[in-house]
Amino acid sequence: MTYLDLAPAITALRARPEEFEFINDTLHHPRSRHRFRFDSEGDVQIDALCDCSLLRARPEQAKVFHTAYQDWHANYWRPLTINREFASHFGPPPLWRRAAIWLLRRLLTGPQETKPMPAPAVAPAE
């Protein structure tokens, strides 16, 4: 049986982790439009628009790829998502929330008291 050689994907995942992303329990490589899904035994299912998805991965390589994926997920993807979430906690609130806060403050403080303007000084007549 002829198998798909996963070596290029394994190398790319290890050398260029920023090229991959994790969406809906699937590892994506957006540039090539390949998607990889792992089952509980470590086997990999490949979705692609090309013929790459027609061949099955060799079980030994699938396990190596799964291990590389687990390392990528733990050491690259998870810290990246945690840092993004952390940064979002300190960004400015959305416009609708700022407007609601402004309106609430305005309602709670009541109308602003205005001080009468002093009358303009009149120049003495000559």
Q: Is residue 78 part of a domain?
A: yes
Containing domain of residue 61, as a range?
A: 7-89
Q: Is residue 110 part of a domain?
A: no
1 or 65, greater pLDDT: 65
Q: Measure the CA–CA gap between 113 and 44, rounded to whole angstroms.
A: 70
Q: Which of 49-63, 71-85, 100-114 has the lowest mean pLDDT?
A: 100-114
Instruction: Please count the structural domains in the chain.
Output: 1
Q: Is residue 121 part of a domain?
A: no
Q: Is residue 115 part of a domain?
A: no
125: confidence class by pLDDT, cuts 50, 70, 90 = low
Residue with the two structure tokens 């590892």? 27
Q: Is residue 69 part of a domain?
A: yes
pTM of the model: 0.71
Q: Note the pLDDT tens digit of each residue in 19-49.
A: 999 999 999 999 999 999 998 887 899 999 9
